[in-house]
Structure 1
């Protein structure tokens, strides 16, 4: 797998724009910051992007704030699920082109989001959100998100996210 690179200006702007467009739980959507990503795969002859056998990765940082926590002062499971849903979707959108996972259904629609929780993530923790786009095809994408401690790598939660997409341009 190639070395990861910092999000370039255009990719960072697109990811942040995607994250901030959702009104639901806006503080959660504004929290992740794009850090590094694998180089974008080139556009293939069908107009899409093909990820390699190890997938395509992005990394975001997030600091856990009180409004993300349960009464015990730890990241709420629903907040963790929202963060993973959001960053996997934003990363998937980065692979889109005009004719492949593009507008108006940018990033597609969730079919499933399955979460696992391992350890408490206390308020104030700087966490790493690592996304792997494991597969992206003509209508399905398989995504994985890992929430870990930025310094130690201790796992807090992980999620698998399956999305679907249809080219709706001819329907508009």
Structure 2
């Protein structure tokens, strides 16, 4: 994947951004993941909730071997690319063995502020789901960046559980881990935890569908367009 070939992505403070993101991937990959996250969040002038989304900070990206004896389902609906390198509707661009052997984990952080709370002074359930949407996809995108495929898509389902309320002022870690990545339906697990105490507040399983890619030739994207826009 030619990371510098993407255009139309927000220009974040790349050099300092990569230094603030921990993990075992390259600075170039960290910068790209941060730009894609910013693309999905948008700005207050263009996107719902972006005034809160802009406060989410990507702080860690790791890609590592999948734990042994954890099989990943082989999706029979997978269709390969044709010889012209053009992807078909509803398919992924490649079926790299790496997508079966590796998984990605990302961590984002944000502090609960008053505008994120309900009348009881705790994190609003809708706000929690809004934040988990791009943060959960962040892990899928990170794995895609690492192995050279498009990890983005549009939301299909988000099964969410609220475990306990997160009060105003709580410092949150939003932790996402890839679950299934080898078909055109991908999923990740996401948890909102207290950064200081590790208390679990909210968790979800988020499934997305990778529709006809808009990233450039051989990468599932067209270099004149941005990534597939998620339903945020």
Task: Give the superposition deviation at 1:62.
Answer: 1.1
Task: Give the superposition deviation at 1:27.
Answer: 2.1
* TM value normalised by structure 2: 0.60
TM alignment of 1:1-172, pairs within 5 A: 5=23, 8-21=26-39, 22=42, 23-39=47-63, 46=95, 49-52=98-101, 55-96=103-144, 100-101=149-150, 107-168=152-213
CA distance in 2, matches of 1:137, 1:15: 19
| SS of aligned partner of 1:115 | strand
CA distance in 1, matches of 2:25, 2:176: 13
CA distance in 2, matches of 1:51, 1:151: 33
Aligned residues of 1:49 and 1:95 also touching (Cα < 8 A) = no
In structure 2, the CA distance between the partners of 1:40 and 1:30, relative to structure 1 (3 Å rule), is farther
Task: Give the superposition deviation at 1:142.
Answer: 1.3
Structure number with bigger Rg: 2
State the number of aligned residues.
160
Task: Give the superposition deviation at 1:66.
Answer: 1.2
* TM value normalised by structure 1: 0.79
Alpha carbon RMSD of aligned pairs, Å? 2.8
CA distance in 1, matches of 2:118, 2:160: 17
- Superposed CA deviations along residues 92-114 of structure 1, whole A, max 9, x for unmatched, are 22233597326xxxx11111011
Q: Which runs of 5+ in 2 are unaligned?
A: 1-21, 66-93, 223-232
| SS of aligned partner of 2:139 | helix
Q: Structure 1 stretches (4+) deviating beyond 4 angstroms?
A: 45-49
| SS of aligned partner of 1:166 | coil
CA distance in 2, matches of 1:101, 1:35: 21
